[in-house]
Structure 1
Amino acid sequence: MASRTPSRPISPHLGIYRWGPHMLVSILHRATGDGMATLGSLLLVWWLAAIAAGGEAYATFLDVFTLSDGRLNVVGWVFGIGLTWALFQHMCSGIRHLVLDTGANYELKGNRLSARLAMAGGALLTALFWFYIIGVK
C-alpha cells in the first residue's frame, strides 16, 4: 500500500484559486467560440434553407428577426448584438492568448490587465460596430 508523503503538494482545484478576470476571459473565450460555432451555424443553415425554399420561407425567417418596416425587433437585436459581441470578445481574447503563447505577459498583474483590456475591447468594438450600423454619430 502506498503511503502519502506529506512534503508533496496538494493538487490545486477550484477551491484553492481566487477568481480573477483572467479566468473569466479564458472561460468566455471558449464559450464565445462554441456559441458562434453552434448558433452561427444554425442561423446560417436556417437562412440558406429559407432562401432555397422560396419567398414565403424567407419571409418567415425575416419575420422572426425584423419588424414590418425592416428594422430589427427584440429578437433581432438580441441575436445581432449577442453574436457580434461574441465575435469581438473572442477576437480580443484570441489576440491576448496569442501574446500568451509567445511566452509573454504571464506576470499576474499584466495578465489581469490584459484580461480586462480584452473584455473592454470586446464591448467597445461591439458598441462601435452597432453605432456604425444604425448610423449613430
Structure 2
Amino acid sequence: MSSEWSDPRPMSPHLQVWRWHATMASSILHRATGVANYVGAVAIAVWIILLAVGAESSIGFLFEGWMAWVTRFGLIALTYSVSYHWLNGLRHLFWDFGKGYDAKGSNQRSILIMIGAVIPTALLWLNLGN
C-alpha cells in the first residue's frame, strides 16, 4: 500500500531554469522590507510606551556607548526599509494601472528603486545630524 506522501515527486526546476534578475531581487526585498517595517514599528511602539510610563532608565542603554551606534544603524536601516517599501509600492500602484510591465524597463526600475531609496534615507539622516 503506497501513500501519496511516500512517492517521490519531481521538484519544480524553477531555480535551475530562472536566471537571477533585478525584478526577482526587488520582489524579495519588498517582502523583506515589509517584515522589517512591522518589526521596526513594534520596536518603536514599545520604546514610546516605555518612555510614556517613565522607564527611561531601562532603555537608556540604547543611546550610550557602542550601543548608540547599533541603535543608530538600526534606525537608518529602518528608514531605508520604509523608503524602499514606499517607492516599490508606487511601482506596484503603476502596475495596478497596467503600466510598466516591460521586462527591460521593469528591471531598470527595480535597480533605480533599490538605489533611489538611499536618497530619502540620506537626506533625512543628514538633516537630523545638523
User: TM range, normalised to the smaller chain?
Assistant: 0.7 to 0.9
Q: What is the alpha-carbon distance in structure 1 between the residues aligned to residue 34 and residue 60 of structure 2?
A: 25
Could you tell me which residue of structure 2 aligns to residue 25 of structure 1? 26
Q: What percent of counterpart residues are identical?
A: 34
Corresponding residue for residue 41 of structure 1: 42
Q: Which runs of no fewer than 5 residues in structure 2 stay unpaired?
A: 1-11
* Structure with greater proportional helix content: 2
1:92–1:122 CA contact under 8 A, matched in 2: yes
Is the 1:47–1:58 Cα contact (8 Å) retained in structure 2? no
Q: Which of 64, 67, 71 pairs up with 2:64?
A: 67
Q: Which runs of 4+ in 1 moved over 2 A?
A: none
Distance in 1 (CA, whole Å) between partners of 2:83 and 2:13 is 32
TM superposition shift of 1:104: 1.3
Gaps of 5+ in 1: 1-10
TM-score by length of 2: 0.80
Distance in 1 between residues matched to 2:60 and 2:20, nearest whole Å: 42
User: How far apart, CA to CA, are the structure 1 residues paired with 2:109 and 2:96?
Assistant: 14
Q: Aligned runs of 1:89-108 on 2, under 5 Å?
A: 89-108=84-103
Amino acid at match of 1:58: E
